[in-house]
Amino acid sequence: MTQNPESAPRSLRFKIDEVLSGMLATIEKDSFVDDTEKLGEVFKGLSQEAPLFEPFGALVGEIDFSAALDGALKSLVSNGVLQHEPGRYRLSPEGRARCVASKRTLFNASNIKDLEVGARYFEEHGGA
């Protein structure tokens, strides 16, 4: 997946949209809410769940995380990974395939384990 290096802040090694894409490859549902404030709270909680997500907790304290998350989601929409519908983001079969390919390419086994923990947390806490 080609990324614009200016599209979102970096979290140590990965940009928000890269981590989000990797996590989306693992969620079971094909859609999730478009409320960036609520999603920001979910990601703030995720920062406590797995090492890959820890930098997001720091981002929440330093900048308007909802704006950074919104930028990452818009990047995924512009790249064709997500479709934005009223009230929801939808992951098409093609978008999921791109997320899976990205997950396999960008992340090591430890990161993938964290992405799976993050996906479960994301679904359990209202993201999906």
Q: Domain map of the chain by residue range? A: 12-124
Specify which residues 84 forms β-bridges with: 89
Per-residue pLDDT tens digits for 14-52: 888 898 899 999 998 899 988 877 887 787 788 888 888
Report DSSP state, residue 29: S
* For range 103-124, the mean pLDDT: 93
Identify the band that residue 62 occupies on the pLDDT scale cut at 50, 70 and 90: low
Nearest to residue 107, comparing CAs of 123, 118, 120?
118
Q: For 12-124, CATH number?
A: 1.10.10
Rounded to 10 degrees, the C-alpha dihedral 78/63/38/67 comes to: -30
CA distance 128 to 32: 4
- What is the average per-residue pLDDT within 91-120? 93
- Kindly state the DSSP code that residue 2 receives in the 8-state scheme: -
